[in-house]
Amino acid sequence: MDETRRDRDADGRARNARPRDGLGRPLPYGTPGVERQPEGVIRAPEETLREAQRLLDAGMPFHAHEVFEDAWKSGPASERELWRGLAQLAVGLTHAARGNTTGGARLLRRGAAALAGYGETAGYGIGTAALTGWAEELADRVETEAGRTVDAAEESPRLRQEGGRAR
């Protein structure tokens, strides 16, 4: 394929068809990549949390961000800030794992601020206080250890709260 042309979908919208790695970075055409997260999938909140946690645990926070983004765009207006905050946490972890200190810390803090208004927990058992603490601590560490990447799987947060703490 001519790499100077923009990939387009059937409707003519720009779509990058290059394979991606586990952190969402484009790879050269013909290189094996990870399966892309389908966009625009409408899931029940429980399914969103299960799929996002699976992806986070696998060290694929970019892909988890896509799942949260679907919930943010398709869910009720009253929940958009919750899903958007979770998406920001996931993309913040993505940037931190890629070595982007400034972007990672900024998005982790932005996501934490979005979740802070929910108190200890949000609906669906989401441990918002624990997630906020996780994000702030990771943002501080990423800034302190500037230039050092983090392991996305090792750093993945627990989305749900069980027995008084995020699991």
Q: Tell me the pLDDT tens digit for each residue of 52-72.
A: 999 999 999 999 999 999 999
Q: How far apart are CA 91 and CA 114, in angstroms?
A: 14
pLDDT band with cut points at 50, 70 and 90 for residue 165: very low
Separation of alpha carbons 55 and 59, rounded Å: 6
3-class SS at 147? coil
Residue 67 lies inside a defined structural domain of this protein: yes
Query: Does residue 165 lie within any of the structural domains?
Result: no
Which residue reads 């949260």 in tokens?
A: 68
Residue 105 CA neighbour count, 13 Å, CB half: 15
SS3 38: coil
Q: What is the mean pLDDT of residues 22-29?
A: 83
Any domain includes 12: no
Asked if the structure places residue 8 within a domain, the reply is no
The domain containing residue 80 runs over which residues? 45-148
Q: Is 99 part of any domain?
A: yes
Q: Of 35, 54, 155, 19, which is closest to residue 95 (Cα–Cα)?
A: 155
Instruction: Tell me whether residue 71 is in a domain.
Output: yes
Rounded-to-integer distance, Cα 87 and Cα 107, Å: 9
The total of structural domains in the chain comes to: 1
Tokens, residue 167: 């699991």
pLDDT at 141: 95
Q: What is the H or E stretch that residue 135 is in?
A: helix 128-144
pLDDT of residue 26: 85
118 inside domain: yes
Q: Is residue 157 in a domain?
A: no
Contact 34, 20 (CB under 8 A): yes
127 has a pLDDT exceeding 90 = yes
Beta pairing partners, 126: 160
Residue 129: what are its φ and ψ, rounded to 5°? -65, -45
CATH of the domain at 54: 1.10.3450
| Amino acid 90: pLDDT | 98
